[in-house]
Chains A and B, each alone.
Chain A
Amino acid sequence: MDKITERLAEIVGKDYVSTSAEERFIYSRDQGVQQPHMPDYVVLPDNARQVQEIIHLANNDSIPVVPMGGGLVLSGLTIPLAGGIVLDMKRMNRILEVNESSHYAVVEAGTSQGMLDAYLKKHHPRLKHSLPDAPPAATIAGNIAIHGSGHLSQSEGGFHSEMVTGLEVVLGSGEMVKLGSCSTVPGWFSRAPLPDLAGLFLGWNGTTGVITKVGIKLFPRPRFHDVLIYMTEDIDIAPDILFRIIETEVAEDINYALSPKPDYLNGFQMIVINLVANTEIELNMKKKIIRDALYDYYKTKESGFMPLPPAMKGDFLEAPQKALSKFADVKKGGGFEYVGAIMPVEKIPDACREGVRITDRYGITYSLGARIIGRGHSAMFFFAYPFNRADTQDIEKVSHALEDTNAAALKLGGIPWKTEVSGQKLILEQMEPQTSSLMMKIKSLLDPNGIMNPGNWEVK
């Protein structure tokens, strides 16, 4: 055992440090198409104090540190590009507090989405949090650190990073800080009215510090739930249809999707509208409001609502949805990649066309779509491309498509989300120089030795 390993073992216990080929192999890659890179150590801390000690050690010995939650980003953000330590946070999964009246939960950073959901269902059945489309093993902290979004992002105020009510963070320099109301008073209820320092860790892909605790907003969990699906062949009417649905203010979640598979849906766009209510009367009223909002469209019979017998609604009412993980098996190959791009809503038709063009270029298949964020303030557009993990050519095609898509998303006026290093470079190149310069100044302040997830958000 080398000295570093020994010291890491002293901090977290020897069972929770590995330098074995097996762990180094698994932690060197994610499920996407980015090139693997081996860590030297995989470390599983149990608490924030241990995280702090590890960061101190890493600073002393100039060892890179890559924090990891569920490890499900697909864009390589937890691949240790410069080796060093991968800090798998999932042992830190305690749910510390739920405040029903003030609608927030405080959880350790490794708490999974599924675990919080199950905990709330059991102990606070009137409350829920916004679940991303990621599998339930994804973590709360990992998701907010990349500006994730989810099934309440349309109705409840936007990206999950906007639902953060407070953070505890170990900076790249090793200090442990609390951000938000919890820095001053006991409650974790808000980031205001203090300067909003939480933003220094949201969207930074772990390059400024390690999030160890998160305060996250909770929302009512109404008893009734239903779904409507609107079907059209005309891409260009999508923004107006979406506008009309948003305008009703009664849709919990609004998703737009276009996929060539199965055959009978090829060329048809589906707008999936999820509704919740506290009573059946309210639910029926909401359905009527949405339908009435689209009357001008469906009366022409050019588009309309799909009849959905209850038995067929199951998948659409599920959160998180298994169907999205199943997309990985479309090419019978256990993989898909996607560019998520945060876009203006009006760009959805153009983004769809661009996605189809790119996939035509590489002869690959796709699933395109968008979730409306924050009552129409933007859309989280996704260009998803399944691939066969056993077929290197397929992987290469998808890698190229991914690069083209990042460029196309920027050109369309959107911003690639939690994008891989090549996409980050494209963004930084296009960014106002003063902005990127400020980013670098902040980063060097928080992570003076450049140990935090090196390779990410760097201008070279």
Chain B
Amino acid sequence: MDSEYTDIIHRCFRCGWCKLPTTYQDFNCPAYLKYRFESFASGGRMWLIRAWINGEIEASERFNQILFSCVTCRNCVEACALPKIKDKLVDIFIAARQDLVDQGNIPPAVRDYLKAMTVNGNPYKMPQEQRGAWAEGLNIDRYEDQEYLFYAGDVGSYDELGMKMARSTARLLKSAGLSFGILAEEETSDGNDVRAAGEKGLADYLAQTNIETFNNKGVKKIITLSPHGYNAFRNEYPALGGQFEVYHYTQVLNSFLGDKIHTGRYEKKVAYHDPCYLGRWNQEYFAPRRILGSIPGLKLAEMDRNMNNALCCGGGGGNFFTDILGTGPDLSSRARVREALSTGAEVIAVACPQCYKMLDDAVKDEGVQDRIRVSDIAGIILESGMK
């Protein structure tokens, strides 16, 4: 591990601020919420990584479970009391995973995920040719020299709900008259979650492939469906030579409201769930809220834990694909659904295809389909009936 990390790892006091949001309502670390052993909180993880580096413990199956159950949601970064180490917490966890990946010592689910990413280029083991299938019938042009590239990403390309979300978004962009195109089968995974899972080499390769494609095609501006891709393009690609103007789709839609997009009414109470990779990772808390707030009839509810204190859906850091957190009532996605219900909301609005799927599953697991449902922001605009 880099000395930047090994030099500070002993500075964690394991004081436990990291378990809670800065407003203290309940445990806000998905791994700790699920497992409840001190070892699964960020402090415990810091101390165990240090013990591993010092040779006091070995990288057992349990150790791997502890490391790979971190969903990289950065709640601990927000809450940590120590300004000199807080920003590095998640980086340290990812670096430790990277060491485990390099040693080939990883949980089977992570191995399968990374293998699929290497062999198939996507976690679904689906053919590359089907990457553009989500856009069928929408009459969307391939990217040539349009102003924007709309990037759907793995989940937007292959997951049923993700595809639905990609279609809604693309329809809105089209109806706003935006000049954009898609890459379809020429699109490569953004590599964000591969990097978070500790496979830096593959993440770099995927990034370089994308950068090459984007540059060859003269892409300057990108709109991403997923906050995960948004994060990779915005924060990882520049260091690898990829300089693009990057927008999350909610930022673009927000700028169109009242001008190029006129919504209808939406008579429902809606709780917005902040995706970690849009919120805590990139400090975009307001574009989605402005959209929802501007829809006539829509009552925007805030969950107790919101914005920088939002509880993660549990799908970050690769867990969406590896499912290390497993099942049970203490899954953060299920806790989040209960929290949304307590606001009286009938709809949970999401801005990330991973959150969409995680929370949609959780609504079913909680058995509350009759009381609440999940919808993405583009879908809500469409449902409101465009003018």
Contacts and interface: CB of A to CB of B under 8 A. Distances in A.
Is there a contact between chains A and B in the complex with CB atoms less than 8 Å apart?
yes
Interface of A: 15-16, 18, 20-23, 25-27, 31, 42, 44, 70-72, 88, 90-91, 112, 114-115, 117-119, 122, 135-138, 322, 325-326, 328-329, 332-336, 388-390
B12 A118 contact: no
A326 B83 CA distance: 8
Contacts of A138: 16
**Candidate in B23, B60, B328 with the most chain A CB atoms within 10 angstroms:** B23
B13 A18 contact: no
Contacts of A326: 81-83
B39 A23 contact: yes
Interface in B34-85: 35-39, 44, 47-48, 51, 56-58, 60, 62-63, 66, 81-85
B24 A31 contact: no
Given A21-B62, A21-B63, 13 more contacts: A18-B37, A18-B62, A21-B57, A22-B62, A23-B37, A23-B39, A31-B14, A44-B36, A44-B37, A122-B25, A328-B13, A328-B82, A333-B11
Q: List the 7 closest A-B pairs by CB distance, nearest first.
A: A114-B24, A137-B16, A325-B81, A328-B13, A334-B11, A390-B10, A20-B62
Interface in B1-40: 10-17, 19-20, 23-26, 35-39
> What class of interface size applies to chain B in its complex with A?
35 or more
Nearest to B37: A23
28 contacts: A15-B35, A21-B57, A21-B63, A22-B60, A22-B62, A26-B39, A27-B38, A44-B37, A70-B16, A71-B38, A72-B16, A88-B38, A91-B36, A115-B24, A115-B25, A118-B23, A122-B304, A135-B81, A136-B17, A136-B20, A136-B24, A326-B82, A329-B82, A332-B11, A334-B11, A334-B82, A389-B10, A390-B10
Nearest to A20: B62
B178 to A, nearest CB: 42
Contact of A22 (B24, B25, B48): B48
A15 B82 CA distance: 31
Contacts of A88: 36-38
Interface of B: 10-17, 19-20, 23-26, 35-39, 44, 47-48, 51, 56-58, 60, 62-63, 66, 81-85, 304, 328
A263 to B, nearest CB: 19
Nearest to A135: B15
Nearest to A137: B16
Contacts of B60: 20-22
B13 A325 contact: yes
A119 B24 CA distance: 9
Contacts of B17: 135-137, 322, 325
A329 B83 CA distance: 9
A26 B47 contact: yes
A67 to B, nearest CB: 14
Contacts of A31: 13-15
B26 A21 contact: no
B307 to A, nearest CB: 15
A450 to B, nearest CB: 26
A410 to B, nearest CB: 28
Nearest to B38: A26
Contact of A25 (B15, B48, B85, B304): B48
A334 B24 contact: no
Nearest to B304: A122
B15 A137 contact: yes
A115 B26 contact: yes
A44 B41 CA distance: 15
Nearest to B81: A325
Nearest to A30: B14
A25 B13 contact: no
Contacts of A21: 57-58, 60, 62-63
A438 to B, nearest CB: 36
Contact of B19 (A137, A334, A335): A137
B270 to A, nearest CB: 20
Contacts of A25: 39, 47-48, 51, 56-57
A124 to B, nearest CB: 14
A138 B19 CA distance: 11
Given A135-B81, A333-B10, A118 B37 contact: no
Contacts of B304: 118, 122
A90 B37 CA distance: 9
B51 A322 contact: no
**Candidate in A114, A138, A389 with the most chain B CB atoms within 10 angstroms:** A114
Nearest to A331: B11
Nearest to B24: A114
Contacts of B38: 23, 26-27, 71, 88
Nearest to B34: A15
A323 to B, nearest CB: 8
B92 to A, nearest CB: 13
B57 A72 contact: no
Nearest to A46: B36
Contacts of B82: 325-326, 328-329, 334
B15 A325 contact: yes
Contacts of A27: 38
B37 A328 contact: no
A69 to B, nearest CB: 11
Nearest to A390: B10
A389 B11 contact: yes
A131 to B, nearest CB: 10
A388 B304 CA distance: 37
Contacts of B57: 21-22, 25
Contacts of A388: 10
Contacts of A23: 37-39, 62
A229 B42 CA distance: 36
Contacts of A328: 13, 15, 82
A88 B40 CA distance: 13
Contacts of A389: 10-11
A138 B83 CA distance: 21
B62 A329 contact: no
Contacts of B56: 25
A90 B39 CA distance: 13
Nearest to B61: A20
A234 to B, nearest CB: 33
B331 to A, nearest CB: 12
A305 B125 CA distance: 69
A118 to B, nearest CB: 4
Contact of B13 (A16, A42, A329): A329
